[in-house]
Each structure stands twice: as structure tokens, then as C-alpha cells.
Amino acid sequence: MGISFSELEKLEYDVVISTIRLRYGHDFRSYARNSLMRRLLHHVNKKELNNLSELVPLLMHDKNIFADLLNSVSVPVTEMFRDPQVFRKLREKVIPLLKTYPSIKIWHAGCATGEEVYSMAILLEEEELYDHCKVFATDFNTQSLTKAQAGVFPLSKMQQYTENYYAAGGKSSFSDYYHVKNDCIQMDKKLARNITFAKHNLMTDNVFGQFNLVLCRNVLIYFGRELQDSVLSLFKESMAPLGYLCLGQHESIDHSLNTADFQNIFENEKIYRKSN
């Protein structure tokens, strides 16, 4: 059963969202309300405030408060080779077709802290396709992008990441792709040679390329239906003819206004192809 919120909390939520939109231009009105409400309340508790209303004057007068809030509510959970069967399907069924193109452009939209971007770089390297690729990794969270560019991740997660890598069809030793530094690992710098990290807001920014593969995994679940439709339209316009779109395991275009624009080619892995 989902968490229910009081009428007062809902009113406070609306005031906070309105304050953010009017003060900073970030419009969260189309986000999934319950999901964002939970994140906001978690932030309130972390800051030892009594309620959402106490955020309003802080947001009005301190840009650093907003930056901290933005980082708190927008960082999703991610990992390397998350849902390994998806990366295996990309390796076995999608990459062979992309190999027929003289050059490939890939967009990781909502890349968060970059784990899946480096996963794709490893996959492309092993399939001898990386030097023909340009990879664009974008997010609207500046702090997340900084972490993604650094390519530094907790050593404690390497066992799970290694298991994911082999389940995804990894062909080498996963440890070949990183260097251990104290309690962290640093991804091999050569993996970033064809990656461009850039700030991009799926809510407000426009098309900036024609891509053969767009990955936006576990982002749409935080958006309301109207914003989902808008983002899917953006992806459609950003994709080359017969380009591929890969969504998260709990996401779908089945009830979207854009359903006819994509073919569901691998349903279990949520991999679609732009209709011709």
C-alpha cells in the first residue's frame, strides 16, 4: 500500500514546487507527485526541519539551499551493468546491427553518476565498436555529472558490479577496467575518451543530435504522464531512423501518446526501435 499524505502536506508541497518554479525556473509540476513528495520529506528530515513549509523562506533567500535540495531529490539509485540481461541483449542483438553503420552516436539521458555510461563504454570496447562511437551522457544535476566525469566509485560495490558484468556477457576480467585507490576505484581513463558529459534538462531543453541509441533507464518512473509523453517525443525527434530506445525495467510506452512511434522489439528488456 502506498504512503498517504495529509491535506496540509499536499498544500505545503504545492507551495514548495511553486516557489522553486518562480524563483529558479525548475518546473516539477509534471513529476510523479508521491515520489517527489517522499524525496522532499526525506530532505526535510535530513535537515531537521519540522515541515515542508519551513523550506520556503530558505529557498527564497539562499541559492545554496536550492542546490542542496536539487541534489538530494534528483540522484537516482544506479549501478554498473544494472539489469545485466538488458546489457546482454544489447550486446547480442543491438550492437551487431550498429556495427553496420560507419559511425554511431549514443545518448545516455539522465545519466546520474555515470555507472551505466562506463558500462556501455566497456561493452563497446569489448565488441570493438567504441572507436566508431560518440557517447553523450547528460543530466540536469551538476553534482551527479561531476561524479560521473570523475569515474570514482565505492570499492564496496565492486563485487556486485563484477557479478553484473559477467551476467551481462563480459569477456575479460572486470578488474582490467579500473584501479583501486584506498576504499574507492577509479575507472580506466581510456573508457572516457569518447564520452562527452553535459548538462541537459529533459523537462526544458531541446533536441541536440540524431542518435542511433538512446538509453534513459529508471528516469521516467519519476515523471507524471504528461512529462513522460513530452520526453518520449523529445527522444523520437532525437533519434536517427530506426534508432533504438532503451528504458528501465519498470517503464513502458504502452499507454503513451507516442506508442505508435516505437516498435517494442525486446519486451522483457524494454528495448524499442523507432518506427520507420
Closest CA relative to residue 191, chosen from 135, 108, 107, 109: 135
**pLDDT reported for residue 123:** 98
> What was the pLDDT predicted at 1?
41
C-alpha cell of residue 127: 565488441
Strand order across the beta sheet in which 184-187 lies:
152-154, 184-187, 178-181
Q: pLDDT value at position 24?
A: 84
Instruction: Please give the model's pTM, rounded to 2 decimal places.
Output: 0.86
Long-range contacts of 50-56 (CB under 8 A, 24+ apart): 51/9, 51/12, 52/9, 52/12, 52/13, 52/15, 52/16, 53/12, 53/15, 55/16, 55/19, 56/15, 56/16, 56/19
Q: What is the pLDDT of residues 139-184, one digit of tens each?
A: 988 889 999 999 999 999 999 999 999 999 999 999 999 999 999 9
183 contacts 156 by C-beta, under 8 angstroms: yes
Written as nine digits, the cell of 34 is: 508521491
Among residues 99, 105, 12, the alpha carbon closest in space to that of 51 is found at 12
Q: What is the pLDDT of residue 75?
A: 62
- Residue linked to cell 496540509: 8
Report the 10 Å Cβ neighbour count for 60. Answer: 12
Burial of 230 per CB tally in 10 Å (0-12, 13-18, 19+): middle
Tell me the average pLDDT of the chain.
93
Contact between residue 234 and residue 261 where contact means Cβ atoms under 8 Å apart: no
At residue 242, the 3 state secondary structure works out as strand
Q: For residues 39 and 20, what is the distance between their CA atoms, to the nearest angstrom?
A: 15
Question: Domains of the chain, with CATH numbers?
Answer: 7-74 (no CATH), 84-274 (3.40.50.150)
- CA dist., res. 240 & res. 9, Å (int): 44
CB atoms within 10 A of CB 29: 15
Collapsing DSSP to helix, strand or coil, 269 comes out as: coil
User: Could you state, in chain order, the average pLDDT of each consecutive group of 10 residues for the chain (276 residues)?
Assistant: 77 94 84 88 92 95 89 79 98 97 97 96 98 96 92 96 98 97 95 97 90 95 87 96 95 90 95 93
- Set of cell numbers at residue 44: 526535510
